[in-house]
Amino acid sequence: MNLISNEALLPFDFILFGGTGDLSIRKLIPSLYFRHSEKQLPEDGRIIATGRTAMDSIGFRQSLDVQVREHIGEQDFDQLTWDSFLQRIHYYPVDVTDPAGYQPLVDALAGREEHVRVFYLSVAPNLFTPIARGVHEAGLITEHSRVALEKPLGRDRQSAEEINDSLSAVFDEGQIYRIDHYLGKETVQNLLALRFGNAFFEPLWRSERISDIQITVAESLGVEGRGAFYDQTGALREMVQNHMLQLMVILAMEPPVSIDPDAVRDEKIKVLRALKPLKGIEAIENSVRGQYRAGAFSNGPVPGYLDNEDIPNDSTTETFVALRAEIASWRWEGVPFFLRTGKRMESKTTEIVINFKKVPHSIFPTADGFSTPNQLIIRLQPEESIRMRIYVKAWGDDIQLQPVYLNLDFNDVFQKRRMIAYERLLLDLIRGNQTLFMRRDEVAAAWAWIDPIRAAWEQYQYTPKNYTAGTWGPGAANALISKDGLRWNED
């Protein structure tokens, strides 16, 4: 399956708003470096970075020299390649809130109207609208232009719609690329390959055979340094509305007729619209909020959420959320989807667990009494792997079944550097392939499901339950899943 075309890139100008920011330094510039080192960027492809910081292109390149190397990694850094890459990079100070501030970009882009032109908005969301207006009024939007938006796209459905309206006033939907970098991860694309490139999963991929699906996105880090931002956001908005719902819809969607952007996104949106709403008391019964307290990891103690200086000591923002969701469709009726995400959890783990139903009638004794069924475990972090748990007869003279794992470790199979998720997304952006980006209606549908959960938390004054840093979250999350006679996969 060819998810991404290999077609050569046309000459382009990649205008990076927020070029001095954290995301650019850690992910975007390294991603472009790797694509340059793989010779995928055409010679006439320029990266035009902007920020408020006053400096010229030479000063910016020097600052990249100091900051970016560690994010590329010593083993992948090549000085000659880096020097040639830097020649692509230009820098102009631009205050995006000042309509007159765009003149340096007007000058830099003059005469290049036929080239692909990407505006990448790696800035706070409150600058999306001023930039859309600014590039429009400066006459910078051509028919070959595209705009990419970082998450979060709004705080709720209404604010997302307002941002989308301001973008739509100057760009066509076909020019707007809403980033969810999870969609750039190899394993997420492999979900599509696994489901729709192999015939044998499809007959099993339904409520007759699957008992439940669990998605865990656990981080071991806390919010240090980002507390002020995080406290306004919380785990539901930061992780569930985008990454986790994206994983869920890719797992649950019907086979699209092709890999074309709209064919895939048409199927994804059907799942979002089929999510059973969680409103009022149902939202309370099917959700758990948590907030971490001081705890310890193997390398020492860590402070609690409220111990951070930039967080009010009466904050009720959740750093953990668990949800039980259902999809109202023929395929998924009665199959609970459990989503769980949190900060300062026991380990950094992102995984999807598909639990299959038990055999209808067991003729074998087993070591574990078939207590845990067959499982497909798709791990995205820390390493990418797919494991299948099956029963075999244990060697010996008894007929005794024992669960074992078939393991597929992507590092062993491909033995090459794992791409940063953004590498793929940035190339697609330049190529003009929207398959791995979110459409406006998808974003709206995701918020439409999330907003009532928040509303119920407010209505019922549901404050987060405490959990100790370094654990798997509050005990209430175990109670949530055990109501279905299940438990979280924590092997």
Check if the beta carbon of residue 119 is closer than 8 Å to that of residue 145.
Answer: yes
20 is an interface residue for ligand NAP by CB under 6 A: yes
* Near ligand NAP by CB under 6 A: residue from 3, 10, 11, 21: 21
* C-alpha span between 279 and 437 (Å, rounded): 28
Q: Which of residues 46-75 bind ligand NAP (CB under 6 A)?
A: 51-53
393 is an interface residue for ligand NAP by CB under 6 A: no
Least Cβ distance, residue 128 to ligand NAP (angstroms) = 8
Closer residue to ligand NAP (CB): 96 or 236 = 96
Closer residue to ligand NAP (CB): 233 or 372 = 233
Least Cβ distance, residue 425 to ligand NAP (angstroms) = 12
246 is an interface residue for ligand NAP by CB under 6 A: no
95 is an interface residue for ligand NAP by CB under 6 A: yes
Check if the beta carbon of residue 50 is closer than 8 Å to that of residue 131.
Answer: no
31 is an interface residue for ligand NAP by CB under 6 A: no
Closest C-alpha among 142, 150, 97, 141 to residue 121: 150
* C-alpha span between 385 and 122 (Å, rounded): 30
Angle at 461 between CA 455 and CA 467, to 5 degrees: 105
* C-alpha span between 78 and 86 (Å, rounded): 12
Q: Which stretch binds ligand NAP (CB under 6 A): 4-12, 117-125, 140-148, 439-447?
A: 117-125
Check if the beta carbon of residue 341 is closer than 8 Å to that of residue 321.
Answer: yes
Residue found under tokens 């010679």: 43
Q: Which of residues 135-164 bind ligand NAP (CB under 6 A)?
A: 150-152
As a whole number of angstroms, the longest Cα–Cα distance in the chain is 84
* Near ligand NAP by CB under 6 A: residue from 96, 140, 239, 250: 96
117 is an interface residue for ligand NAP by CB under 6 A: no
Write the DSSP symbol of residue 14: E
278 is an interface residue for ligand NAP by CB under 6 A: no
Closer residue to ligand NAP (CB): 181 or 439 = 181
- Of residues 136, 181, 243, 361, which has the active-site annotation? 243
167 is an interface residue for ligand NAP by CB under 6 A: no
Write the DSSP symbol of residue 26: I
* Near ligand NAP by CB under 6 A: residue from 124, 367, 399, 406: 124
> What are the structure tokens assigned to 47, written together?
């990266």
* Near ligand NAP by CB under 6 A: residue from 37, 122, 317, 350: 122
94 is an interface residue for ligand NAP by CB under 6 A: yes
DSSP 218-276: E-S---TT-HHHHHTTHHIIIIIIIIIHHHHHHHHPPPPSSSSHHHHHHHHHHHHHHBP
243 classed as catalytic: yes
Q: Among all residues, which ones are annotated catalytic?
A: 243
Q: Contact positions toward ligand NAP, by CB under 6 A?
A: 18-23, 51-53, 94-97, 122-125, 127, 150-152
